[in-house]
Every structure is written in structure tokens, then in C-alpha cells.
Structure 1
Amino acid sequence: MKKTRKLLVGLGVLAVAGLVLIAADHIDAPSSAGTSADIADFFAFEPSEGSDNTVFVVDVQSNVLPDLAYGTFDEDVLTEINVDLDGDLVEDVVIQAIPRNGRMYFFGPAAPSQTGLTGTVLVDAPLGDVEISGTTAIVETTSEGVSLFAGPRQDPFFFDFFQFNAVINPDVNSAPRGFSTPEEAEDTFDGANTMSIVVEIPNSLLGSPTATNALGLTVYKTWVTTNRKQ
């Protein structure tokens, strides 16, 4: 998962051009932990076999335990989906999302004016926007057939967090039986939510995928970054 340092330019109607942004990582950067700069999961898939669309799902980890189940999107965090179309592991088009006043605004797909760790990003290409959901999911579909969602979703991660910590404890008596069996394991994150950003987009707007995955299927090479202003 690539992390970048970029300069945000030209957000048009949001009037936040010129903000300096830094990349985030998942949990291991104290400045991003517990904020929506903290990337939890990234999924890219066809919504159905043979579909001409691709779905991108970005889960950012705001609060992970059940008693902190609902979080918010930080307005100083830009989320960017990067797509490589020619196999050089450099983004050719990007889709960006940034929240303002209870709505998530999307831009792209657009070619960035520069790429790499010190590049500037072309974001002057509005894609659409959607109200950030609460307990009821709200989806907006644009005239180009792009579906947009932003809001809390059930955390897809199954992890017996406390047993894991017991196993890695230097005290050998902490977990004498090792990891729990599937039947005994507890999902620590059951009932917790991530804050999700979802884009379903026609492939015709992205360009043709050129990579081949382990199953022999043609796919996009794609990764996600979060960038937070300093």
C-alpha cells in the first residue's frame, strides 16, 4: 500500500486549494491512529461476474471497538484511489474524496499533473457528492453511472485481538494453548464499524485494465493513500 506526500491543488468549489498534505499509515503512525487518515482496508472488485464496472471500497479506521462504533470523517483528510494503467506502478488516474459539512465530495478519474512522492495532484475534475450516511445508507448515482457512498459500515476484519496479544506475550504462560480454535475464537471487532468510502464506476471512465491477477483475470493495479494537511 503506497503512501505519498502530495500537495492538494484546485479543489474548486471547496476552496481549499494549497493545503499541504502528508500521508497516513494504519495504526503504526501515532499522528494518524484513531483518525480517518488511518487506512484499515482497501478492496477493488467487479460487482458481478462480467460486469463493466469496478467497485472501490476504502475503509478508514476511526474507532474500532464496539463502545466507539461510530466515528467521523476528518475534514483535513483527502482520500485518494490510485490506478496504474500501464504496469509501471505509477498512478495514471486518481479518484479523490474529501468531506465538507456532512457531505463527501469526489473528484476524478483524472490524471495527476505530477506523480510520485513530491507530486501535485490534479483534482479539478468534480465527479459528484453524497451525504455522509448515518445508520441508514445513502447512495447517490451520477448521470455517468457512478455510484457514491460514504459512512459507517460493519468492520469486515475478524480478529481475536486479546488472544493474539496473549500469544505474543513473552510470558510463555500467557497463552499455553496458543491461538484459539475457530470455534473458540472471539471476533474482537464484532459490532464495530469502519468509516467507508465506496465508488462504483464504469470501467470506461477509468481506462482499460492491463494487469493479470493470480486467477488469470484482468484487473487494475490500484492502491489507496490518505493525505492529511499539516
Structure 2
Amino acid sequence: MKKTTKFFTGFGLLALATGIFIAADHIDAPASMGTTADIADYFAFEPTMGSDNTVFIVDLQSNVVDGLAYGTFDEDVLTEINIDLDGDLTEDMVIQAIPRDGRMYFFGPITPDQTGLNSQVLVDSPLGDVEISATSAITETTSEGVSLFAGPRQDPFFFDFFRFNEVLAPSPMDNSGFNVPGEDTFDGANTMSIAIEIPNSMIGEATGTNVIGLPVYKTWITTNRKQ
């Protein structure tokens, strides 16, 4: 499979959830934390019960704050959705997203020539592209029924950060519990989001199961920076 000569090296991986003062920061590896390759959230789900489609949503850059200039997608960062279809925890299919000149370009799903931390843009397997949204949401649906979105969205991370600090403060410790309801410290903060809804027939059969026995894809995210 012919590809571009632009090589990428693994930079971020789906990570833990925690919080900092301005916006939710879902800590990645130290080298990527707080950078344009920082992964905040990853969601994979059926849009409706029993649907033949799957939705993948990736949130990057957790420091995009309402009232300030929106962040931008980094043209040197490749976002890759990895899907394991045989249970060996190695990607069998990948979907890629990379921005260029105000648009997000998607490639795949396809079996990669190489697995692990290094990736190349799969230019011979275009999936579609969409204008990167700014003040209003823009979506694009391809002839194959794939829906695409890229742009700023409100951070879904709900956390009463200040009450959390009060409860855990070493002295004096307040053990009266959390407030009900709590306050969302990160209300108004944004992330840079990439969303795709795709027919399962384009990916392959889901071989994993969730806690209630329903079939699910084993999937994870990596971000890769151009070398």
C-alpha cells in the first residue's frame, strides 16, 4: 500500500481522568501533557440501541477555555483510532484523522502495514473530510453513510474540583462529603473534538463483550507527532 513519506511517532495514549484549575486535564504521558497531542477523552458507543453504526469521539487539548481564542488542531499531529478484532490487543483496523488548511481529513478503516507506536498517513484509503467548525457545528456525511465532525466542543468532564480539594485537604480536613448537587468547575471549558459515526460493516465484527454481555469493539486512541 503506497503511503506518504511523513512518519509519525507515538506521542499520546488514552489516559486517566483528573482535574486542574482552568480546564479538565486528563493526564497523558509527560511528553504530551498540555500539548496539542494531549488526549482528554475517548468515547465509543452505539448511537441508538441495536444500531448497525458505531460512534467514535476523540477530545484533544483540554485547555481550550470559553471566552478566549479557541484552540486549533495541530497539522503535525495524526490522531488514530485503533480497533482490535481478534483479542490480541494489537490493532487490526485503524481510522486516521489529520487537519490541513481548515479541514479534517479522515482515512481508513484499513488494516495497517505496521502496528505499534509508529504510523503513516494512509493517503490511499480516503474516508472523507469536513470543514473544521468554529462558531457553529458543521457535519459532513459521505456516500457510504459515514458522518464526520471536527471542532471545539464543551468539555464533558464534570467535576467539583474545589470541593474535591476541600475534602482531601490535609489540614484542616473536611470529611462532610461532597455537595449535592456539586458545581461543575469546568463548565464553559472546551476541547478540540473529532467525531465519526461509521457503519459497523466497514470495520468488521465486534469480538469483545461489555459487562452486560453485549458485543463491543476493543479500541483505543493514539496521537502521533510528525518527526
State the TM-score, normalizing by the size of structure 1: 0.84
Q: Which residue of 2 is the match for residue 10 of structure 1? A: 3
CA contact (8 A) 1:38 1:61 kept: yes
Amino acid at match of 2:76: D
CA RMSD of aligned residues (A): 2.1
Aligned counterparts of 2:157 and 2:211: Cα–Cα separation in 1:
23
1:206 counterpart = 2:199:
no
Give structure 1 stretches of 5+ with no counterpart: 1-8, 12-16
Deviation track 1:3-61 (CA, whole Å, cap 9, x = no partner) reads xxxxxx824xxxxx323323225435454233331111111111111111110000112
Partner SS for 1:24: strand
CA contact (8 A) 1:78 1:227 kept: yes
Residue in structure 2 matching 1:182, options 180, 196, 216: 180
Q: Which residue of 2 is the match for residue 91 of structure 1? A: 91
CA contact (8 A) 1:82 1:91 kept: yes
Aligned counterparts of 1:28 and 1:79: Cα–Cα separation in 2:
14
State the TM-score, normalizing by the size of structure 2: 0.85
Deviation track 1:56-90 (CA, whole Å, cap 9, x = no partner) reads 00011242544447211111111000011111111
Aligned counterparts of 2:146 and 2:8: Cα–Cα separation in 1:
29
Aligned counterparts of 1:202 and 1:224: Cα–Cα separation in 2:
19
Give structure 2 stretches of 5+ with no counterpart: 14-25
| Matched residues, number | 213
Partner SS for 2:63: coil
Q: Which residue of 2 is the match for residue 172 of structure 1? A: 171
Aligned pairs for 1:1-230 (under 5 A) are: 10-11=3-4, 17-25=5-13, 26-68=26-68, 70-117=70-117, 119-121=118-120, 123=122, 124-169=124-169, 171-173=170-172, 175-177=173-175, 179-183=177-181, 185-230=182-227
CA contact (8 A) 2:164 2:178 kept: no
- State the Cα distance separating 1:122 from its structure 2 match: 6.5
Identity of aligned residues (%): 69
Partner SS for 2:153: strand
